[in-house]
Amino acid sequence: MTGHRVTFYGALEERLRTWLTGSPEGHERGALVLFRRHRAHVEGLPDSMRFVAVDIIELTGDWVLESSPTRLRINLRNLPPIYLRCEVDGLELGFAHSHPDGALFFSATDDRNEQNILRGYAGCNGVDVHLVSLVISDGQWIARARSGKAPGITEPIRHMNVVGDAIKMYLADTPIDPSEVLARQEAAFGKPFNRKLQSMRVAVVGVGGTGSPLATLLARSGVGELILIDGDTLEETNLNRVRGYRKDDVGQPKAETLAAYIRSLGVGCVVAHISEFVDRSPAAVDAIATADVIFGCSDDVAGRDVLTQAAYYYCLPYIDVGLTGAIREDEEGAPYLYDHRGRVSTILPEVGACLRCQGVVTDAKLAYERALRDRPELAELDPETLRKEYYLTGGNESAPGVGAFTSSVADLAMATFMDLIRPYRRLSTDFRRDNTWYDFVHLTLYSNMPTIDPDCFCCGSAGLLCASERGYRLGMPSLGRTPN
């Protein structure tokens, strides 16, 4: 599917909506919207920029030269300071306005206004800029873009996402061919559901025991574009729990091999792969910034830390999965499964607790993992020796790699994703949407109660939501300079 994409976090979209539709006289209103543009080329996918809204400027006072229920004329002489802010802060300009008469389309007057704004914008900031235009009417949004290189040509926006306690999508009017494969899915969730999935770009980081079944489920469900990220090669010991791999694939890159398998399914999903580790790969981080949703299926803490921060910087819904467990011996020395649980954490930029507040990512775990990379022999030591002699916390903690359990967690993650697109769950008050555990031994579902830290550098009130990366990807010099 062609077209760019627009994302708002919930509070900003609500503020914009309230302003545009709140004229006491029923007049058109306007606002400038400032976006951060993510446009990395991902090999194998059609180029599609993602515009993430970071601020709005309500047009009042001397901004408005004329307004009526069907007309809004603004003072273009006030725009140069906004152009300068866009240039200094690396932002793109947007113009949003209302149509109180219920007309959800772009008029000839809108065409002229957009081109006039864009000519001044491109004249100051260069022809590489884009102007994003939005119209709201009867509670619905439409959007389009124009490039400074061709002001007279409009570029489609295939959807606008509002990420709050769920994902609310406003789709372009581009119908898809009905699919017999997805007919029952459509019957369960309604006709817009399949179109929404086809419009989405989803990144899966880690394509092993949980990531490979999840990626195939996403493709079979009708997701339009997938990005598979994993720096590992397939090992023979993986074969009991992965999907889409054969014994002949042992030793091959996981991401590349699974991408080829999904293409062979013929389900219409366009797949890209990056055979690198996300915490060490600028290309992987850039690709994630262009996605609409990310899934973390990695077994390393450093990768989860990167994805957690990316969820806030880039305003991305992030679903992270993991397993934990313990094996003990009975009185006769035979092993048995003492504990085994799967976790699905749903990280929404404005709702719930990040992985640090959930205790999934900690500085102690990161330090242990870094030490293990430098000295793999530390993995053989018991936790007490690591603590006393190396001042490290960790060791001897791993989940049994059993396909029935890893696939079950992938299914839960997929069901969680569907609930974000079309909410269907009815949860008790003691159950948290951001933190779900499945106890395989006792067959129970429950939630931990994460500590909500108002000062958390990720999800706190002064956290990373749509923050500037300060010239480096995710603010991390190790990941290199942000692309121009």
pLDDT digits 0-9 by tens, 180-199? 889 999 999 998 999 999 99
Residue 450: predicted pLDDT: 76
Q: What value does the mean pLDDT take over residues 250-276?
A: 97
- pLDDT mean over 7-19: 98
Q: Is the model's pLDDT at 73 over the cut of 80?
A: yes
Structural domain spans, the chain: 4-171, 183-364+404-479
Q: How far apart are CA 86 and CA 78, in angstroms?
A: 14
Considering the chain, what percentage of its residues have pLDDT values greater than 70?
96
Which class would CATH give 4-171?
Answer: alpha beta
Compute the average pLDDT of residues 79-83: 98
Q: What pLDDT, on a 0 to 100 scale, did the predictor assign at position 396? A: 54
Identify each DSSP E strand in 275-317 by its residue range: 293-296
Name the band, by pLDDT with cuts 50, 70 and 90, for residue 327: confident
Lowest mean pLDDT among 160-164, 310-314, 329-333, 382-386: 382-386
Other beta carbons less than 10 A from residue 169's beta carbon: 23
Predicted local distance difference test score (pLDDT) of residue 377: 82
Going by the DSSP 8-state scheme, the letter that residue 249 receives in this structure is G
Among the ranges given (44-53, 203-212, 298-307, 395-404), the one the predictor scored with the smallest mean pLDDT = 395-404
Q: The whole model's pTM is what?
A: 0.95
Question: Length of the chain in residues, anyone?
Answer: 484
Model pLDDT, residue 438: 95
Question: 347 Cβ partners below 8 Å, 6+ apart?
Answer: 308, 311, 317, 318, 319, 320, 354, 355, 434
Q: If you count DSSP H runs as helices and E runs as strands, how many of each does the chain have, helices first?
A: 12, 18
Q: How confident is the model at residue 214 (pLDDT cuts 50, 70, 90)?
A: very high
For the chain, the average pLDDT equals 93
pLDDT at 320 over 60: yes
How many alpha carbons lie under 13 Å from residue 65 in its C-beta half-sphere? 6
Q: Which fold has domain 183-364+404-479?
A: Rossmann fold (3.40.50)
Residue 393, both tokens: 């916390």
Name which of 22-36, 326-340, 365-379 the model is least confident about: 365-379
Q: What is the pLDDT of residue 390?
A: 58
Map tokens 């790969």 to a residue: 281
pLDDT tens-digit readout, 87-137: 999 999 999 999 998 889 999 999 999 999 999 999 999 999 999 999 999
Assess whether the region 4-171 and the region 183-364+404-479 belong to the same CATH fold: no
